[in-house]
A and B are shown apart, each in its own frame.
Chain A
Amino acid sequence: MNAQPGQSRTFSRRGFLGLSAAAAAVPLLAACGGGSASQAGGGAAGGTIKFWDMPWAAPAYNDAAKKIVEGFSGNNSKASYQLIQWNNFYQTFSSAIASKTGPAVSTGGGFQAFQFEQQGQIAYADKVIDALKKNGQFDDFLPGVLEPFKSDKGYIAVPWQLDMRVFWYRKSLFDQAGVAVPTDWKSMLEAGKALKKIGAVGFATGSGAGNFIGNHAMIMMMVNNGGGVWNQDGQIDVMNDRNVEAVEFLLELVSNGIIDPAAVSYTTDNLNAQWKDKKAGFGLNVAGLPTRVGDTSGDLYVASPVAGPHGDKATIVFPNNIMMYKNTPSQEASEAFLTYYMGQIKELWKQKLMVALPVFKSITEMPEFASDPNNVKIVKEWQPIAKTFAARGSKLTANMAVLDGGQALSQFTQTILTGKSDAKTALKAFESGLQSVVKS
């Protein structure tokens, strides 16, 4: 009998130690286990293609996209849908790719495909392009949409929507101010002064936490004047005369109070509120601004492109794309899925779920899209003059991501919006900041 408790104690102690060791080993095993990004499942030969998507529009968009994804059954495969939030999305993708638990196919940041391609994680989409040629969709792409994705090694991704920056105006404020909608920089300045007199903003923008509209306005105005951050060879060339001229004009807008003095701190919500509250009279924003700010007045219109002092007309566009990753249960299945998805995306515009523009001409001609005169105007007047962040060059690279979300551009934008620098000093600091982070 005396032995029994002793045995029990020994067992208990060892048992506890064993249990502890097992518990300690769990994260170790989990860490070492790795795993596949797109595990074969469901008994399908091609496995399950994991598709990661972002919240591109209202939640109804993601529901519709999920339905499309789950409808895929080609190449003995099926597909699963995962929504990824924008917050820290690059970290989410990077961590998943590093641990081989990432997607096989995904949407994502505009330059994400180029970043991951640089890191050897992207599967080229040449076979998808071939398939689109066969099914006729290749010829349906709007002009110039596909070229930025073509590299020496192949197509890095396939564009599926265009996030364009266009000038919007509120007609009632222009009527009230008794001024015409700007057609060039000179009239933009005059209209801005007239709008200011009635308490409205003549160049609505913002550069607060998480708001990139201000950054885009800076680059757009440079590109609109025939300038840009890069030269034709893709090298940094910030200090060109056209950029200096554009920044001097922006500083003039600031000094005349046409740009809101508080714009430097405006978040997206602050800026949206300015548009919705009929405070913003004119400004650069995304296509689909009324939907974005919840304005149903019918008083917001897309302006025609404005000409710079040398007659140049241009804007910037972010061709959002779908990319394939090397970590996939089957490359053929990934390609079959992407080809299938490209054939189905018209449904998203048909259901009026998208804010951005489509990449296919046939979608722009659908009554659901063309019934909005603002959409028609953007496609007709803005799309043909739209350039990417790579302007004056044409090739998109991973460096565009550093420019788009990086500190150099944010700091430059905020410097201009506070009006506490001259154009050349601000541009020089911008160039220097960009050079320190860009890989040549």
Chain B
Amino acid sequence: MSSTTVQSGLARARRGVAPGGSGGRPRNNGLNRKSKLSAQTSRTYFWLLLTSVILLVLIHGYPLVYAGVQATHDGNLIETGNFVGVENFANVLGSAAFWKATQFTLIFTIVGVFGSWLVGLGLALLLRTKIPAGGTFKVLLLLPWVVPIVVSSTAWNWLVATPESPVPSLFRALGLGTPLFLADPTLAAATVMAFKVWVSFPFMMMMTSAALASVDNTVYEAASMDGASRFQQFSQITLPLIARSTYISWILMTIFCVNDFPTIYLLTGGGPVDATTSLVVLAYRKVFQDFQTGPGVAIAFLMTLTLVIVSVILYRQIRKSSVE
């Protein structure tokens, strides 16, 4: 580096001008240029944003608006039909089938979210310890999540559907009778929920494993020195430190459960006698089996609204846990 360059650099530094800047120009001109650049940048951002907005409107907005139109009309999949206002919503909210489906969806979601979280958390904690062939176990435990739902539902059907299936046969061999897992309404609901937990726990395990990996081991060492028990370490250190990740996984799993169509439909079709009919299955049946597009879409709208509210509540919990 030459001495001229060094001196020039020092001079620029004294004047507060960055390398490459003109430095010698009046301050006013610099501001104008900056302002001009800023306006140009804003225009660029505007056009870039507009493109994205157009794409979003086309991809999300149009179907949403069209669904809104269908929900307020008495048409079918081809014709819009006559405007009926909120009649479809009123009819849906006044039907016993809707509230029965809501009740099942609620229980299915609670069991699905917390059941899969508990199993996932337990396995994530187990896999954190040094067990032989831990990596292999991790891969195997991901299988329920990786296998296509059509395949796994067929496998579950084979396991439980008939009195001669392996699981009822096992129960019979143990002297526990022959439970009809898919034919009895209560057992069918329990089976569908167990299936959901089985399909979903690997996702929870992955999320929790990632969160646990970020917890510093020295925290536990310090807690041990202070005399904290294993349970105290788990409840006072582990759970609070992975709370953010836990809330996110709860939000996602809530959305997955409420919108879950294949798990239920492929295993039970919503039966027997509507015992496993969730809101999304009910919406499907309304539109494609009863050919009542308006009420079906109205159910979908109500589901979306509920999901937004639940997501906002859980998101606030995330922010709260971040602040804490």
Which residue of B59, B62, B269 is within 8 Å of A208 (Cβ)?
B269
B79 at the interface (CB under 8 A from A): yes
Q: How far is the CA of A437 from the CA of B44 in the complex (A)?
A: 54
A13/B180 in contact, CB under 8 A: no
Residues of A within 8 A of B79 (CB): 119
B288/A90 in contact, CB under 8 A: yes
B289/A405 in contact, CB under 8 A: yes
Q: How far is the CB of A201 from chain B (nearest CB, A)?
A: 11
Q: How far is the CA of A406 from the CA of B286 in the complex (A)?
A: 8
A21/B291 in contact, CB under 8 A: no
B140 at the interface (CB under 8 A from A): no
A94/B161 in contact, CB under 8 A: no
Q: How far is the CA of A208 from the CA of B274 in the complex (A)?
A: 11
Q: Mark A25-54, 1 if CB is under 8 A from B, else 0.
A: 001100100000000000000000000000
Q: A91-B288, A262-B182, A270-B157 in contact; A17/B268 too (CB < 8 A)?
A: no
B77/A265 in contact, CB under 8 A: no
Q: Mark A331-359, 1 if CB is under 8 A from B, else 0.
A: 00000000000000000000000000000
Q: A208-B269, A270-B162, A406-B290 in contact; A119/B183 too (CB < 8 A)?
A: no
Q: How far is the CA of A384 from the CA of B62 in the complex (A)?
A: 52
Q: How far is the CA of A28 from the CA of B161 in the complex (A)?
A: 47
B76/A24 in contact, CB under 8 A: no
Kindly specify which of B48-56, B125-133, B311-319 makes contact with the partner chain.
Answer: B48-56
B183/A264 in contact, CB under 8 A: yes
Q: Which residue of B lies closest to A209 (CB)?
A: B269
A115 at the interface (CB under 8 A from B): yes
B272/A264 in contact, CB under 8 A: yes
Q: How far is the CB of A97 from chain B (nearest CB, A)?
A: 6
Q: How large is the interface on B (under 10, 10 to 19, 20 to 34, 35 or more residues)?
A: 35 or more
Residues of A within 8 A of B267 (CB): 209
Q: How far is the CA of A415 from the CA of B270 in the complex (A)?
A: 13
B76/A262 in contact, CB under 8 A: no
Which residue of A24, A94, A116, A437 is within 8 Å of B51 (Cβ)?
A24
Give the contacts of A99-128 with B (CB-CB under 8 A): 115-116, 119, 121
B237 at the interface (CB under 8 A from A): no
Q: How far is the CA of A230 from the CA of B85 in the complex (A)?
A: 32
Residues of A within 8 A of B268 (CB): 208-209, 265
B269/A262 in contact, CB under 8 A: no
Residues of A within 8 A of B271 (CB): 207-209, 264-265, 410, 414
B163/A262 in contact, CB under 8 A: yes
A261 at the interface (CB under 8 A from B): yes
Q: How far is the CB of A171 from chain B (nearest CB, A)?
A: 22
Q: How far is the CB of B290 from chain A (nearest CB, A)?
A: 4
A418/B78 in contact, CB under 8 A: no
Q: How far is the CA of A364 from the CA of B227 in the complex (A)?
A: 88
B265/A209 in contact, CB under 8 A: yes
B6 at the interface (CB under 8 A from A): no
Q: Which residue of A lies closest to B187 (CB)?
A: A265
Q: How far is the CB of B203 from chain A (nearest CB, A)?
A: 24
Chain A interface mostly helix, strand, loop or mixed? Answer: helix
B12 at the interface (CB under 8 A from A): no
Give the contacts of B261-297 with A (CB-CB under 8 A): 265-274, 285-286, 288-292
Q: How far is the CA of A210 from the CA of B270 in the complex (A)?
A: 10
B185 at the interface (CB under 8 A from A): yes
A402/B77 in contact, CB under 8 A: no
Residues of A within 8 A of B107 (CB): none
A307 at the interface (CB under 8 A from B): no
B137 at the interface (CB under 8 A from A): no
A85 at the interface (CB under 8 A from B): no
Q: Mark A403-428, 1 if CB is under 8 A from B, else 0.
A: 00111101100110110100000000
Q: Mark A247-272, 1 if CB is under 8 A from B, else 0.
A: 00000000000001111111101100
A236 at the interface (CB under 8 A from B): no
B161/A208 in contact, CB under 8 A: yes
B47 at the interface (CB under 8 A from A): yes
A401/B162 in contact, CB under 8 A: no
Which residue of A210, A402, A411, A414 is within 8 Å of B291 (Cβ)?
A402
A296 at the interface (CB under 8 A from B): no
Residues of B within 8 A of A411 (CB): 273-274
B157/A401 in contact, CB under 8 A: no
B58 at the interface (CB under 8 A from A): yes
Most buried by B among A207, A208, A261, A274: A208
Residues of B within 8 A of A95 (CB): 77
Residues of A within 8 A of B59 (CB): 27
Give the contacts of B14-63 with A (CB-CB under 8 A): 44, 47-48, 51, 54-55, 58-59, 62
Residues of B within 8 A of A20 (CB): 48, 51
B78/A97 in contact, CB under 8 A: yes
Which residue of A24, A265, A402, A417 is within 8 Å of B182 (Cβ)?
A265
Q: Which residue of B lies closest to A417 (CB)?
A: B272
Q: How far is the CB of A326 from chain B (nearest CB, A)?
A: 12
A262/B44 in contact, CB under 8 A: no
Q: How far is the CA of A115 from the CA of B157 in the complex (A)?
A: 34
Residues of A within 8 A of B123 (CB): none
Q: A119-B79, A270-B161, A270-B162 in contact; A88/B269 too (CB < 8 A)?
A: no
Q: How far is the CB of A121 from chain B (nearest CB, A)?
A: 7
Q: Which residue of B lies closest to A265 (CB)?
A: B182
Q: How far is the CB of B276 from chain A (nearest CB, A)?
A: 10
A366 at the interface (CB under 8 A from B): no
B48/A414 in contact, CB under 8 A: no
Residues of A within 8 A of B270 (CB): 209
Binding site for A on B (CB under 8 A): 44, 47-48, 51, 54-55, 58-59, 62, 76-79, 97, 157, 161-164, 180, 182-183, 185, 188, 265-274, 285-286, 288-292
8 additional A-B pairs beyond A119-B79, A209-B267, beta carbons within 8 Å, are: A95-B77, A119-B76, A207-B272, A208-B182, A265-B272, A266-B162, A270-B161, A414-B271
Binding site for B on A (CB under 8 A): 13, 17, 20-21, 23-24, 27-28, 31, 88, 90-91, 94-95, 97-98, 115-116, 119, 121, 207-210, 260-267, 269-270, 273-274, 279, 401-402, 405-408, 410-411, 414-415, 417-418, 420, 437
25 pairs, CB–CB < 8 Å, chain A vs chain B: A20-B48, A23-B51, A24-B54, A28-B58, A31-B58, A95-B77, A98-B77, A207-B271, A208-B182, A209-B269, A209-B270, A261-B163, A262-B163, A262-B183, A274-B162, A401-B291, A402-B291, A407-B290, A408-B290, A414-B273, A415-B273, A418-B185, A418-B272, A418-B273, A437-B291
